[in-house]
Amino acid sequence: MIWLMIFSMAAVVFISRHLLLEPKLPLRLSKNTQTFLSYSAPAVLTAIFSPIVFVQEGKLDLSLDNSYLICAVVATLLAFVTRNTLLTTVLSMGLFFTIH
Amino acid sequence: MFTAALASPLFLGAKMRTEKTIEAEIARTPNSKAKAFLKGTLAMMPLTIAVIPWGILAGSFAIEVGLTPIESQAMSAIIFAGAAQLVALGMVKAGIGLWSILITTLLITSRHLLYAMAMRSQISPLSLKWRLTLGFLLTDELFAIANQGKLHKFDPWYALGGGLSFYLGWNLATLLGIIAGNAIDNLGELGLDFAIAATFIALVVPTVKKPSILVCVLVSLTLAVVCAVLDIQAGLLIAALLGMSAGVLYAKVTGEDKPAPKTNTTAIQAEETL
């Protein structure tokens, strides 16, 4: 079951990465599809990280005790000001492991 | 989803480029290849380091969910998609079936269609061996360092250096996680999952260049949190799809793209016509 999952997931991931690199495939994404997909990265990444930040033990946690939330706010500010992925990641994680 | 294109001048253009690129590839000395490979490795280094905690998490979480060490390593070695792996493991833990896992994987990985689209003019003229290799290695991170636009000449050896070193880093970190997951209990309490949040925030914030993307992010964020609190399993799917739709709708209603018509699509197509 796990192996089936690994190989089928690998197929889905590889096909989506490789499909449009194939020159013999006369496939092109329509403009509407391209526009829709241009929102995919921010939407998907946000949908993955936001529960980690806002939900602790199944409940919405907006308190100052929520170190995930504090550090996520810091990370957002850092990313906004510096536009530097590494700096943002390292500094906010450093802060997190200090206060968590 | 797809529109078939007729054999247009676009494709002829691509073909002429093909021969030129291949010639250039053959004419290169091993030394310049090694240099480009090393340069790619170095350019990727910060991202390779940033992915370490995340890889540790992928390895230890797989063990926690009940995978064997071999299966855990195989996920990183064969699938090689951090977000999809972690989400899938969460779903396995929750006892969710394979089809739901695959549909979610498809959604998470759908952004790669766009990366491939953007790099098509640079990678599709290369040989099958190159296409398969670079296609397999095409991650958010590789796209970030290799797709520098038209000003920089695309170098497959540079991309290979970046992609391969990142692949190694990811797999070594996973191995560390597997070892740690076997040795230490309650690794989850360390809060390694914050690495995911930090990385994704760092990747998402710079993409918010238009109000419609902000709308998309906020809708996705709110719905994902609501779904998580209500324990709705398809939360990721619902939040991401509605977030994307909200962004598209907002752009349509406000006519956001009118002044500079469809920046994204035009850029990608212009590269194709070159």
Structural domain spans, chain A: 2-99
At A100 the three-state DSSP class reads coil
Mean pLDDT of A84-94: 86
Q: Name the residue ranges covered by the structural domains of chain B.
A: 9-206
Write out pLDDT tens, residues A58-70. 999 999 999 999 9
Residues of chain B neighbouring A18 (CB-CB closer than 8 A): 116, 131-132, 135-136, 138
- Whether the predicted pLDDT of B55 surpasses 80: yes
Q: Indicate the burial class of B230 (C-beta count within 10 angstroms; 0-12, 13-18, 19 or more).
A: exposed
Q: Is the pLDDT of residue B271 over 50?
A: no
Q: Is the pLDDT of residue B14 over 50?
A: no
Say whether residue A77 is in contact with chain B using an 8 A CB cutoff: no
The stretch B218-245 carries a mean pLDDT of 93
Partner residue opposite A96 with nearest CB, options B194, B223, B245: B194
Pairing state between β A59-60 and A55-56 = antiparallel
- Please give the backbone phi and psi of residue A60, each rounded to the nearest 5 degrees, phi first: -65, 125
More confident residue, B83 or A73: A73
**What's the rounded Cα separation, in Å, for the pair B64 and B41?**
32
d(CA A92, CA A95): 5
Highest mean pLDDT pick, B34-48, B62-76, B187-201, B259-273: B62-76
Q: Which residues of B touch A37 (CB under 8 A)?
A: 110-111, 113-114
B56 at the A interface (CB within 8 A)?
A: no
* Chain B environment of A53 (Cβ under 8 Å): 197
Read off the pLDDT of residues B182-228 as tens digits, 9 standing for 90 and up.
Answer: 887 666 677 778 888 888 898 899 889 999 999 999 999 999 999 99
Cβ contacts (< 8 Å) between B197 and chain A: which residues? Answer: 49, 52-53, 68, 71-72, 75
Cα dihedral B219, B225, B228, B230, rounded to 10, equals -90
Say whether B224 and A46 touch across the interface (CB within 8 A).
yes
Task: Check if A62 contacts B (Cβ < 8 Å).
Answer: no
Chain B contacts of A71, Cβ < 8 Å?
194, 197-198
B73/B175 Cα distance (integer angstroms): 7
In angstroms, the CA B48 to CA B136 distance is 17
Distance CA B197, CA B213 (A): 18
Q: Is the Cβ of B224 closer than 8 Å to some Cβ of chain A?
A: yes
How far is Cα B175 from Cα B60, in angstroms, rounded to an integer? 9
Q: Which among A18, A48, A87, A27 has a CA at the least distance from the CA of B10?
A: A27
Higher-pLDDT residue of B164 and B114 is B164
Tokens of B81: 């998609």
Predicted pLDDT of residue B118: 79
Residue A87 — pLDDT band, cuts 50, 70, 90?
A: confident
Per-residue confidence (pLDDT) for residue B9, from 0 to 100: 38
Which of B124-128, B139-143, B147-151, B247-251 tops mean pLDDT? B247-251
- Indicate whether B7 pLDDT > 50: no
Rounded to a whole number of angstroms, the CA Rg of chain A reads 19
Phi, psi for residue B194 in degrees, rounded to 5: -65, -25
- How many percent of chain B have pLDDT more than 70? 80
Nearest-Cα distance to chain A for B129, in Å, is: 12
- CB contact under 8 Å between A35 and B216, yes or no, is no
